[in-house]
Structure 1
Amino acid sequence: MAKPKKTPRPKAAAPKGFRDYFGDDVTRRKEMLDAIARVYHLYGFDALETSAVETVEALGKFLPDVDRPNEGVFAWQEEGADWLALRYDLTAPLARVAAQYRDDLPSPYRRFSMGPVWRNEKPGPGRFRQFYQCDADTVGAPSVAADAEICAMLADVLEAVGIDRGDYIIRVNNRKVLNGVMEVAGLSGDDKAAERGIVLRAIDKLDRLGVEGVRALLGEGRKDESGDFTKGAGLNEAQAETVMGFLSAQRGEAQETLARLRDLTASSPTGQTGVDELETISNLLAAQGYGPDRIMIDPSVVRGLGYYTGPVYEAELTFPTLDEKGNPRQFGSVAGGGRYDDLVKRFTGQEVPATGVSIGVDRLLAALNEKGGPRPTGRGPVIVTVMDRDRMTDYQSMVADLRRAGIRAEAYLGNPKNFGNQLKYADKRNAPFAIIQGAEELARGVVQIKDLELGKRLSESVSHDEWKEQPAQFECTMTEMIPELLRRLSRDG
């Protein structure tokens, strides 16, 4: 008789393109999101949480760089019902909410959302299928004053989380200006949609490919270092020069840049409207004290999403850092957004103006870590060790007293037989203190307190003789324990 086949054990690994977040990472992210939320709240935005699941119909065809609604998302079909999908961003759900509750919500509606989104894309280094976004949007405000406000708020957010002024720049453009350039170059109309798409993607790669790389993509195409060939837009020399003139339109002062853009779009009413809007944004920001050292007009900003209809903006970090090979590089973009007046229209049939920004939470957090700015300590709980397992009631009572005093604490719940393992556990938990009370300490009404943080610092920086003069373990009475711990925890921040 054949032996029954053993069921193979599941592989203990996260799915490809996904990752786990542990205590310190979660703490740092929460602190950063709390700082961002305080700025959003200060600007009058209200929090909104939407479902992680939307209908594919509600998500629509606005996924970046794809043509089919269910391409690039994690989707499934309910039996005899709609196709559903995990949200790929926080903007499409907002459009659905704005349409669904339009009679109940104030207009304009100002909201911020934070949470994970999912993309069914090929993962790679630093590119995950699940990641966090943090958005703020105004729905129902046609004035570009709403766009200027988003840009100002984004600057305040970056500084609130620890990015110093001078270490970031927010670049602002307008898709209407770009559409005007397309008209001047002879690329307007439905029959030129494919060429426009190639041109937009080429412009968006300016920082990576440089001027010559973009010029090649405007023409016949470009072969990269690996030999792969990317087909170009097939523009003639005059058309390509018009587009390249747009990319080089930036000047030292905003008014000079705007004047150059007016010249380039002189024959396009759409382009001229776009320049007017940029000028209004520039003036509004200047009046609030946001100069070109923080927010500047930059014609090279395109933003890849197809639903942008007006101003677009991108926040770039400019402080130097090193790549994995030790070569200097800049961190690049951590946030972007723009005006999307047609998105809610899909649900209502009526144009609803909207504008907003999305911050890449994981990317901004990685930038803060690289910058070496203030970081949470990741301090663990005070560990009450167990010297006598029959006294667990006493130890848990001690823990309860610590918690009532606002001290994060726990009793050791593993096998207490080996005291060394308890201290190893406290070390892994990054505990600041370990409380020790055996029979002898109990009889005298005292505890031993092991200052683990001080012990680490002393072991790294002082000699053995100095160590003996600054013992990292001390004794105190039970009544002194909590005040002493509070004093030392406060001392260490």
Structure 2
Amino acid sequence: MAKVKKQPRPKAITPKGFRDYFGAEVTQRTEMLHAIAGVYHRYGFDALESSAVETVEALGKFLPDVDRPNEGVFAWQETDESGQGDWMALRYDLTAPLARVYAQHRNDLPTPYRRYAMGPVWRNEKPGPGRYRQFYQCDADTVGTASMAADAEICAMLSDTLETVGIPRGDYLVRVNNRKVLNGVLEAMGLEEDAASRDDVLRTIDKFDKVGEEGVRQLLTKGRLDASGAYIDGVGLSEEQAAPVLAFLTSKAADTAGTLENLRAAVGDSKIGAEGIAELEQIGALLAAGGYGPDRIEIDPSVVRGLGYYTGPVFEAELTFEILDEKGRKRQFGSVAGGGRYDGLVKRFTGQEVPAVGVSIGVDRLLAALREKGRLATQPTGPVVVTVMDRDRMADYQAMVTELRNAGIRAEVYLGNPKNFGNQLKYADKRHSPVAVIEGGDEKENGVVQIKDLILGAKIAENATLEEWKERPSQFEVPRTDLVAKVREILESQG
């Protein structure tokens, strides 16, 4: 009889481009999302949880050709008996599902519809350092109004959100631009009807933050040598044609009025450009009326990311404080959120243009920023651990932990082998527990419990020569009836 081949054990590895999140990280993210949701709720936005799976047809963006309908997303085909069926995919953002939800339920929703959504999204892209295929986004959108008050409100809400989660004023800036102004510049260049050249210009503008004014000038005209020495062909525009783009990108002045004046010169007689400038002017006035000055939100035409996607105002939240990169060099932290007006997205479903504006916060980026600022605890606080001195008295220990939990104190009973008490304290240390509760047979007989301050005990152990620590007891014997009160007192003393 042939020997049955043994199946190899599966490898315990995380799939490429994905990662696992443990207790402290999950708690930090949950608390931050709760704080953000509080701001959004205060602004009148309602929560929406849409499906994590959409049809590829509804997602739309990732349909480059018939043969590869799953390009850019994690997709599969649900086939029927004939082998035909719809292609389904995990959502790649939270905006495309919103367009589908609004188109499907618009008769039942208020207009305008204000919603926020938080959750993971998935992209079938090549992973890299800090770049994962699953990550969290946090969005807020207003659908159904063309009023610039909606755009101004999103910017104000983004500013309030950053300050609420712990980014102080002065460490961030929300910068606002407008796609219509760029359209006016393209019109002034004579490219409004030349789709290929217009797309080339848009791609070049998107490199402004990397190559600067002179680099963009070279790429718009004859081309340039990059840092590696390779020659990059230019778009082929004349210096005169490139001038309006450069004027647009460098039009930021000392104040909003000066910036708008420079933009008017850049767009010339373009009607759409003038409309975009008027929208920026209106947003600026609304923000000023709400007390949001240029120290928090400013008009800045150098904001170019997303201009190819958005149809009107576009904004980006940038953190301005410096951090050290992996090579020890100082650099600004950079962008943590972006958004803008996208009046054409719902039209794919309804055939009618529906105005919409929204913002998306990169949750992982914002959490990383809070860690850099020291606004997140690097050491998590674990539960109070009720130790087990006698396995036959588990009911007594369970009663203790129930009292603590009912008092709002995080607590657990040690559930491992209680034979070695030292191992129980090692477990509490690994759990980052602030307090251990001890009740042996003698304590039970005398109606008392021992309560050990593990945080203070660790400090005493680290600084055994410091008299001020020695003078402070780290373990207390109290009546059993005072268990909750003493534990709470110690926790409060620990901060």
Q: TM-score range by the shorter chain?
A: over 0.9
Indicate conservation of the 8 Å contact 2:459/2:469, yes or no.
Answer: no
* Letter aligned with residue 88 of structure 2: L
2:230 and 2:458 map into 1 onto residues whose CA distance is: 53
Cα deviation for residue 456 of structure 1 reads 2.2
Map of 1:19 onto structure 2: 19
Q: Secondary structure at the match of 1:6?
A: coil
The 5 Å alignment of 1:264-303 reads: 264-303=266-305
Cα deviation for residue 374 of structure 1 reads 5.2
Per-residue deviation, residues 319-363 of structure 1 (Å, max 9, x unmatched) = 111112221110001100000000001111111000010010100
The 5 Å alignment of 1:83-162 reads: 83-162=87-166
1:418 and 1:224 map into 2 onto residues whose CA distance is: 65
* Letter aligned with residue 18 of structure 1: F
Q: Among residues 389, 396, 413, which one is paired with 2:391 in the alignment?
A: 389
Indicate conservation of the 8 Å contact 1:250/1:298, yes or no.
Answer: yes
Aligned pairs, number: 489
Map of 2:171 onto structure 1: 167
Structure 1 residues 424, 223: closer, same or farther in 2, change over 3 A?
farther
Q: Secondary structure at the match of 2:186?
A: helix
1:446 and 1:173 map into 2 onto residues whose CA distance is: 67
2:92 and 2:229 map into 1 onto residues whose CA distance is: 32
Indicate conservation of the 8 Å contact 1:61/1:68, yes or no.
Answer: no
1:472 aligns with 2:471: no
Per-residue deviation, residues 193-235 of structure 1 (Å, max 9, x unmatched) = 3332332232222222222332333234444334555554332
Q: Among residues 199, 202, 211, which one is paired with 2:201 in the alignment?
A: 199
Cα deviation for residue 302 of structure 1 reads 2.2
Indicate conservation of the 8 Å contact 1:151/1:313, yes or no.
Answer: yes
2:177 and 2:15 map into 1 onto residues whose CA distance is: 39
Map of 2:4 onto structure 1: 4
2:462 and 2:207 map into 1 onto residues whose CA distance is: 48
Q: Which moved more, 1:232-241 or 1:259-268?
A: 232-241
Cα deviation for residue 396 of structure 1 reads 1.5
2:2 and 2:366 map into 1 onto residues whose CA distance is: 57
Cα deviation for residue 117 of structure 1 reads 0.7
1:240 and 1:18 map into 2 onto residues whose CA distance is: 43
Cα deviation for residue 53 of structure 1 reads 0.6
1:446 and 1:393 map into 2 onto residues whose CA distance is: 16
* Letter aligned with residue 16 of structure 2: K
The 5 Å alignment of 1:302-451 reads: 302-304=304-306, 306-373=308-375, 375=377, 378-451=380-453
Indicate conservation of the 8 Å contact 1:310/1:340, yes or no.
Answer: yes
Map of 2:238 onto structure 1: 236
Indicate conservation of the 8 Å contact 2:184/2:273, yes or no.
Answer: yes
Indicate conservation of the 8 Å contact 1:59/1:69, yes or no.
Answer: no
Indicate conservation of the 8 Å contact 1:201/1:304, yes or no.
Answer: no
2:421 and 2:230 map into 1 onto residues whose CA distance is: 62
Per-residue deviation, residues 116-145 of structure 1 (Å, max 9, x unmatched) = 111111111111111111111100111111
Cα deviation for residue 35 of structure 1 reads 1.3
* Letter aligned with residue 327 of structure 2: K
- Given the two structures, how large is their TM-score scaled by the length of structure 2? 0.94
Q: Secondary structure at the match of 1:132?
A: strand
Unaligned runs of 5+ in 1: none
Map of 1:186 onto structure 2: 190
2:385 and 2:286 map into 1 onto residues whose CA distance is: 55
Q: Which moved more, 1:331-340 or 1:287-296?
A: 287-296
Structure 1 residues 307, 327: closer, same or farther in 2, change over 3 A?
closer
Map of 2:50 onto structure 1: 50
Indicate conservation of the 8 Å contact 1:340/1:354, yes or no.
Answer: yes
1:462 and 1:199 map into 2 onto residues whose CA distance is: 67
1:201 and 1:462 map into 2 onto residues whose CA distance is: 63
Give aligned-pair identity as a percent: 70
* Letter aligned with residue 23 of structure 2: G
Indicate conservation of the 8 Å contact 2:385/2:413, yes or no.
Answer: yes
Cα deviation for residue 307 of structure 1 reads 3.4
1:138 and 1:46 map into 2 onto residues whose CA distance is: 10
Per-residue deviation, residues 119-174 of structure 1 (Å, max 9, x unmatched) = 11111111111111111110011111110111111111111111111111111111
Q: Secondary structure at the match of 1:166?
A: coil
Indicate conservation of the 8 Å contact 2:387/2:424, yes or no.
Answer: yes
1:78 and 1:230 map into 2 onto residues whose CA distance is: 44
- Given the two structures, how large is their TM-score scaled by the length of structure 1? 0.94
* Letter aligned with residue 431 of structure 1: S
* Letter aligned with residue 30 of structure 1: T
Cα deviation for residue 12 of structure 1 reads 1.5
Q: Secondary structure at the match of 2:333?
A: strand
Structure 1 residues 305, 206: closer, same or farther in 2, change over 3 A?
closer
Cα deviation for residue 457 of structure 1 reads 2.9
Cα deviation for residue 281 of structure 1 reads 0.8
Structure 1 residues 466, 248: closer, same or farther in 2, change over 3 A?
closer
Q: Secondary structure at the match of 1:172?
A: strand
Q: Secondary structure at the match of 1:456?
A: helix
Map of 1:263 onto structure 2: 265
Cα deviation for residue 434 of structure 1 reads 1.0
Cα deviation for residue 30 of structure 1 reads 1.3
1:349 and 1:40 map into 2 onto residues whose CA distance is: 30
Indicate conservation of the 8 Å contact 1:150/1:357, yes or no.
Answer: yes
Map of 1:77 onto structure 2: 77
Cα deviation for residue 465 of structure 1 reads 4.8
Q: Which moved more, 1:297-306 or 1:133-142?
A: 297-306
2:237 and 2:125 map into 1 onto residues whose CA distance is: 30
Map of 1:32 onto structure 2: 32
1:383 and 1:102 map into 2 onto residues whose CA distance is: 52
Q: Which moved more, 1:17-26 or 1:391-400?
A: 391-400
Structure 1 residues 181, 377: closer, same or farther in 2, change over 3 A?
same
1:408 and 1:70 map into 2 onto residues whose CA distance is: 45
Q: Which moved more, 1:52-61 or 1:460-469?
A: 460-469
Cα deviation for residue 78 of structure 1 reads 0.6
Indicate conservation of the 8 Å contact 2:342/2:355, yes or no.
Answer: yes
Q: Which moved more, 1:83-92 or 1:435-444?
A: 435-444
Q: Secondary structure at the match of 1:315?
A: strand
User: What is the alpha-carbon root mean square deviation over aligned residues?
Assistant: 2.1
* Letter aligned with residue 431 of structure 2: R
Per-residue deviation, residues 271-326 of structure 1 (Å, max 9, x unmatched) = 11111111111111111111111111111112337431000000100011111222
Indicate conservation of the 8 Å contact 2:143/2:355, yes or no.
Answer: yes
Q: Which moved more, 1:349-358 or 1:295-304?
A: 295-304
Indicate conservation of the 8 Å contact 1:60/1:69, yes or no.
Answer: no
